Structure 1
Amino acid sequence: MNIDTDVLVVGYGPVGQTLAALLAGAGHRVDVYERFSCLYDLPRAVYFDDEIMQVWQSLGIAGDLDVLPINTYEWFGADGDTILRMEHPKLGPSGWEPGYLFYQPTLERALDRRVRSLPTATVHCGWSAESLEQFDDYVEVTLRRVREPRVGELEPTDETTTVRARYVIGADGANSVVRAAAGIALDDLGFAEPWLVVDLRPDDIDALSSIPAPCQWCDPVRPHMHTRNGRSHRRFEFMLLPGERPEDFADEARVWSLLAPWFTPDDGTLVRQAVYEFRGRLATTMRADRALLAGDAAHTMPPFMGQGLCSGVRDAVNVAWRLDLILRGVADAGLLDGYTTERRAQNEWIVNLSTEMGRVSCTLDARAAADRDAALRAAEVPPTLGLPPLADGTLATGRPLAGHRAVQGVVRIDRREGRFDDVFAKHFTLLTRHAPQLSPAHVEFLDRLGAHVIALHQLEDLDGRLTAWFDAHRIEAVVVRPDAYVFGAVAWPDEIPALLDDLLSHLPTIDSRITADVR
């Protein structure tokens, strides 16, 4: 049977672009099919965190983005005073700033350049997925050519094509065709509120500098928010009140009336206005045999914690390293079992938190809002903007640091200097205090993985972050996965072989001979 491509990615937003860049960057054949004829040139997401910046770093595009670092997120109550101030530490584990406000079209253009620079990636625009059929060794996807008579409008044509791929990934949004065709259901978490999203380009970007960005006004008269998205744009969002309809805000004059306290037509340009229904939903699984989901196809969440894009990119990185090992013949498809285990649990946590924060913001009853404000102000410890570690999956559960994000420091070795991932390309990494004593079988195992074996004494820890991390957790060695999550750590040198055995047990059928030798 002729296989057309290793991985077929449906959807070419940032999640689909990231998948294509990671998999094609590893040398695999990737074909992307996107409904629209060109990149979407309007902002949507406005925030990503340091974990996602580390992904952009690994793809070589971190310097190409329109970003503003932030580390606080302020919420105001019905009286206009602060009820919540959420803060990040100064630096995230990746060594980047804890969060960034960004302009999405610039990101998509940078990702597109990266994908199109890779010889094994092909992007097909103007094709809409219609159905898929799964077989033992491949999946067959039928797509239809669509045309775009007007921007944002699609019309089907009579032309179809069928693509056979080893795997298909649906990164095709909340109304995912791949999810429906694979028979994957959605759990609805019961939150659904329509909000008007307004993007602006001020003539003087500093004119609104007195307004915190980002901030949420939990005003029962009309909840609303404000943020910057990149260096040149601003965003306001307004909750629709009972009885209001999306079409009520098609008139720009109505939109300007909402913006009047801060911004007038004389101050700049209204880039777009659109009404979205903020919902909390979660796919029951992220995999059905050879069909996988990522991003909004697998989960949608209210935007109050700014984690929609972040969650999708985490999906992409998590599934990409698994598919890389499988397509290289290093592990079998059982490695994909950990994808849903890890990502659905973390996604469920953030969807639930985002939904609860949405309920906090969307209170319309004045008395309930006053009670809410009093309770939040009485809380002694404000919430932090951090995610829980991975709790289960491809992890050495029970060992130190398993499921936590690894620290990235600035290092120098052999005249190479920079952030760790720039000096050592992203692979599995065994990082130790001292050069480890490994058996030939373990050496061969790590070589098959393409893993780095690095001792701290072999490099210069220029910012001291790696040494401080080891000292704080009293560890001798740590195995870091390609997605920068810790597989596990050990406190003593003689525990390293057992840690590698544990890693081997999580990578099914890597090589029966190596498995036999190690054991």
Structure 2
Amino acid sequence: MTTTHESDVLVVGAGPVGLMLANILGMYGRSVTVLEALDDLIDYPRGVGLDDESFRTIQTVGLVDSVRPHTNPQHIMRLVNGAGKVILVNNPQTRDFGWERKHGFIQPEVDRALYNGLHRFENVRVLFGHRVERVDEDADSVTAIASVTDADGRTTEHRFRAQYLVGCEGGKSPTRKRMGVSFEGESPSTRWLVVDVENDPLGTPNVFLGADPKRPYVSIGLPHAVRRWEFMLHDGETEEQVTDPRFVDALLAEHVPGPSQLQFIRRRVFTHHGRVASTFRKGRQIIAGDAAHLMPVWMGQGWNSGMRDATNLGWKLATVLSGQADDSLLDTYTAERKDHAQAMVDLSLTFGKFIKITNPVTAALRDGASTVLNFFPQVKSYFADMRFKPMPRYTRGVVVDPTAQTAGRAAAELTSRLVPVRTANNTTSPVGVQFPQPRVNSRHGSDVLLDDAIGNWWSVIVWGNDPTAVLPRSALDKLELLGAKLVAIVPETQRTWAEEYMNDDVLVLGDHTGQVKKWFDDRPTPMIFLRPDRFVAGACLTQHGPATLDSILEAMSFTGRPAPVAAAASLVS
């Protein structure tokens, strides 16, 4: 008789998305089994760009110290023309979310750090050499049948049952195919040769995008002295031809004096894809990462979009599994993530078309226009500060309209006719976007990042006021069931006073940099309801707090049960 192994969640695929999701669920005390068909993690570089949003998630699961040594912070990108002249620079300086906007990274090492992080959780295990062959789903569970081949070549079947299965197996995802959902988009016909080498012969620590009409290319400096080149291939150039060492040496001849002396890690041909699944969930099966969306490499957002998926899905699965919310909460995963994934795919495809122009006349027009635009500071900063990148904004899901307090939808603008709104510097709604992560002081520590101070679950942040003084008892009781941390942020000059006079249940934080004060000064929303993924579910005047909270609970299908024990415990500073 075959033994059935039980866990809360089955994750299929031990790539970065599956590993991060398992870390998040393990952090919240859920049991997870990760099934991986390969015998070990992939050991060659793939993704090369890690952004600040992903680093914030890495911070949440407590793996910054393990990941940081494998990164190049402040990864600058320079777009150069066929003559090598810089025509655009992308070098964002802001640290809104607590970390540098862009990092180069060595994916195998970072993936290994995510994998090693799972050893902290007794309830999480990764099983290599387990290929999922079949999945059966009923009203209460999902069962995966995996084949395992031993050293003698004998194959046996193992059964794994859970409440949910998440497919993180990449673009050819069997989970997506089982779900029967479409995978819409395009696969541009252009192919690229990627060449990775050790002992970087150039040493420049950043990125050059070569918009050379003869043959567009990319040159990337990575941590651990790794250099990557990518070259666009012409029609008629076969894979056998372009991976031949002599052909590769000829491509590299304009980049390095002695190509044949390089220490190659790999030479591989790949094709860009731009596709998004029609839905990310069907019943008890869910997809994330490349299984849900494939995007060209130009914006370095494939790995990061997968991290956004895990960040969004992790707390929702933990909430449903604990009984805090109805199963319908998981439908908000697609509602919130699909549109942004599509926006990143569209931007990446557009940027790729800009880079890979091969017509010399069109390329000259592009280069000339870029040079002219660089004379305009606003246009130049638009590219330099990466403001062309669409930040996630959730208008449907676990959000509440800041004006009408309606559940499940949030307009992008504050439309109230109250004087505080009409006179605000910024009437763009903060609902549905990430809250910034400044550094703050508290009695528990100085100059700490906000997320480290408030914990990894729900928070109510109030500027200058005691939350227990401006919210009625009925609202505070609901927040207690939700497991929300009550936070007051005050100017550092007032922190001692606030710690003495505010309720003991309130975490008082001092704004010693002035960044929090400026954020609230620009926006007429002194009360923020912050989700575990650091997105704002509700923002309002304090008198609208109870109605906003009720709408948030409605939007997340809240059942009234207490918060998960692991999440509640983590809120203690």
Please report the TM-score for the alignment, with normalisation by the length of structure 1: 0.91
Asked if structure 1 preserves the Cα contact closer than 8 Å seen for 2:73 and 2:100, the reply is yes
Residue among 252, 255, 263 paired with 1:262: 255
The residue aligned with 2:221 is 228
The residue aligned with 1:200 is 197
Residue among 104, 114, 117 paired with 1:111: 114
Asked if structure 2 preserves the Cα contact closer than 8 Å seen for 1:193 and 1:279, the reply is no
User: Which amino acid is 2:221 matched to?
Assistant: R
Shift of 1:267: 5.8
2: CA distance, partners of 1:44 / 1:462? 40
Alignment of 1:317-396 (within 5 A): 317-379=311-373, 380=376, 381=379, 382-383=382-383, 384-385=386-387, 386-388=389-391, 389-396=393-400
The residue aligned with 2:434 is 405
Per-residue CA distance 1:433-453 (angstroms, 9 max, x = gap): 111232333223222222111
2: CA distance, partners of 1:121 / 1:77? 49
1: CA distance, partners of 2:297 / 2:186? 15
Shift of 1:390: 2.6
2: CA distance, partners of 1:44 / 1:158? 31
The residue aligned with 2:47 is 45
Name the SS for the 2:73 alignment partner: strand
The residue aligned with 1:296 is 290
2: CA distance, partners of 1:106 / 1:456? 37
Change (3 A) 1:142 1:277: same
Shift of 1:419: 1.1
Alignment of 1:437-476 (within 5 A): 437-457=470-490, 458-476=508-526
Residue among 450, 455, 465 paired with 1:420: 450
2: CA distance, partners of 1:146 / 1:511? 46
User: Which amino acid is 2:433 matched to?
Assistant: H
2: CA distance, partners of 1:373 / 1:148? 58
Task: Name the stretch that deviates more: 37-46 or 258-267.
Answer: 258-267
Name the SS for the 1:508 alignment partner: coil
Alignment of 1:423-434 (within 5 A): 423-433=453-463, 434=465
User: Which amino acid is 1:43 matched to?
Assistant: P
Structure 1, unaligned runs of 5 or more: 150-155, 515-519
List structure 1 segments (4+ residues) > 4 angstroms apart after TM superposition: 146-149, 265-268
Residue among 161, 172, 177 paired with 2:174: 177
The residue aligned with 1:168 is 165
1: CA distance, partners of 2:547 / 2:318? 25
User: Which amino acid is 1:335 matched to?
Assistant: L
2: CA distance, partners of 1:22 / 1:157? 35
Shift of 1:488: 2.3
Residue among 92, 98, 101 paired with 2:104: 101
The residue aligned with 1:152 is none
The residue aligned with 2:505 is none
Shift of 1:509: 4.1
The residue aligned with 2:239 is 246
Residue among 35, 38, 41 paired with 1:36: 38
Asked if structure 2 preserves the Cα contact closer than 8 Å seen for 1:15 and 1:313, the reply is yes
1: CA distance, partners of 2:210 / 2:55? 28
2: CA distance, partners of 1:148 / 1:431? 56
Residue among 475, 497, 507 paired with 2:546: 497
1: CA distance, partners of 2:239 / 2:18? 29
Shift of 1:251: 2.1
Shift of 1:481: 1.1
Residue among 30, 42, 60 paired with 2:62: 60
The residue aligned with 1:80 is 84
Structure 1 position 482 matched with structure 2 position 532: yes
1: CA distance, partners of 2:121 / 2:322? 18
User: Which amino acid is 1:472 matched to?
Assistant: D
Shift of 1:38: 1.1
Shift of 1:333: 1.0
Name the SS for the 1:261 alignment partner: coil
Instruction: State the identity as a percent.
Output: 31
Asked if structure 2 preserves the Cα contact closer than 8 Å seen for 1:68 and 1:101, the reply is yes
User: Which amino acid is 1:288 matched to?
Assistant: K
Asked if structure 1 preserves the Cα contact closer than 8 Å seen for 2:36 and 2:127, the reply is yes
Structure 2, unaligned runs of 5 or more: 401-409, 415-428, 491-507, 564-573
Asked if structure 2 preserves the Cα contact closer than 8 Å seen for 1:280 and 1:299, the reply is yes
Shift of 1:456: 0.8
Shift of 1:215: 1.7
Asked if structure 1 preserves the Cα contact closer than 8 Å seen for 2:253 and 2:259, the reply is no
The residue aligned with 2:212 is 219
Name the SS for the 1:404 alignment partner: coil
Name the SS for the 2:170 alignment partner: coil
1: CA distance, partners of 2:323 / 2:187? 42
Asked if structure 2 preserves the Cα contact closer than 8 Å seen for 1:68 and 1:231, the reply is no
2: CA distance, partners of 1:378 / 1:193? 29
Name the SS for the 2:341 alignment partner: helix
Per-residue CA distance 1:454-500 (angstroms, 9 max, x = gap): 0113222233322222122233111111111111211x321211221
Name the SS for the 1:237 alignment partner: strand
Shift of 1:311: 0.2
The residue aligned with 2:466 is 435
Name the SS for the 1:235 alignment partner: strand
Per-residue CA distance 1:30-66 (angstroms, 9 max, x = gap): 0000111112221111111111111111122212231
The residue aligned with 1:517 is none
Shift of 1:411: 1.9
Task: Name the stretch that deviates more: 314-323 or 161-170.
Answer: 161-170
2: CA distance, partners of 1:339 / 1:369? 41
Asked if structure 2 preserves the Cα contact closer than 8 Å seen for 1:429 and 1:451, the reply is yes
Name the SS for the 1:272 alignment partner: strand
1: CA distance, partners of 2:151 / 2:291? 23
Name the SS for the 1:352 alignment partner: helix
Structure 1 position 133 matched with structure 2 position 118: no
User: Which amino acid is 1:493 matched to?
Assistant: T
The residue aligned with 1:508 is 557
User: Which amino acid is 1:510 matched to?
Assistant: T
1: CA distance, partners of 2:259 / 2:89? 31
1: CA distance, partners of 2:512 / 2:130? 49
Number of residue-to-residue matches in the alignment? 502
Change (3 A) 1:512 1:17: closer
Per-residue CA distance 1:222-263 (angstroms, 9 max, x = gap): 110011222421111011111012222332232222122223
User: Which amino acid is 1:238 matched to?
Assistant: F
User: Which amino acid is 2:124 matched to?
Assistant: A
Shift of 1:147: 6.7
Asked if structure 2 preserves the Cα contact closer than 8 Å seen for 1:187 and 1:282, the reply is yes
